[in-house]
Each structure stands twice: as structure tokens, then as C-alpha cells.
Amino acid sequence: MKFVQKMVALHLRPISLTKENITDSAIRRIIFDAGDDLESFIIM
């Protein structure tokens, strides 16, 4: 259940990465927040 909660909490984050002014810290935050589920998060 924690996996589903994490995916729901993060599901809008990739939209912000489509903008022109992406910062390195934004990428690092998503990687950190997704943790071990990063690959599943990106595929979703």
C-alpha cells in the first residue's frame, strides 16, 4: 500500500519537468523522493 501512496503523491511531478527552466535541484528532489521506486515511477 505504501508503494501506491507514494506513486499517487508523486504522480504530477513529471509534468513540472517538461518546462524549459528545469533545475538540477528539481531533478535531485524527484530522485530522492522516489527512492528505490524511481524506475517504476518513471515508467508510470
Of 15, 18, 11, the C-alpha closest to 41 is 11
Which amino acid is present at 28? R
What is the per-residue pLDDT for 13? 83
Answer whether 7's CB lies under 8 Å from 44's CB. Answer: yes
What is the per-residue pLDDT for 20? 84
Digit-coded pLDDT (tens) for 1-44: 889 998 888 888 888 778 888 888 888 998 998 889 888 888 87
**Buried (b) or exposed (e) across 8-18, using 16+ Cβ within 10 A?**
eebeeeeeeee
Q: Give me the residue label for grid cell 508510470.
A: 44
What is the per-residue pLDDT for 28? 92
Domain boundaries in the chain?
Answer: 2-43
What is the per-residue pLDDT for 26? 86
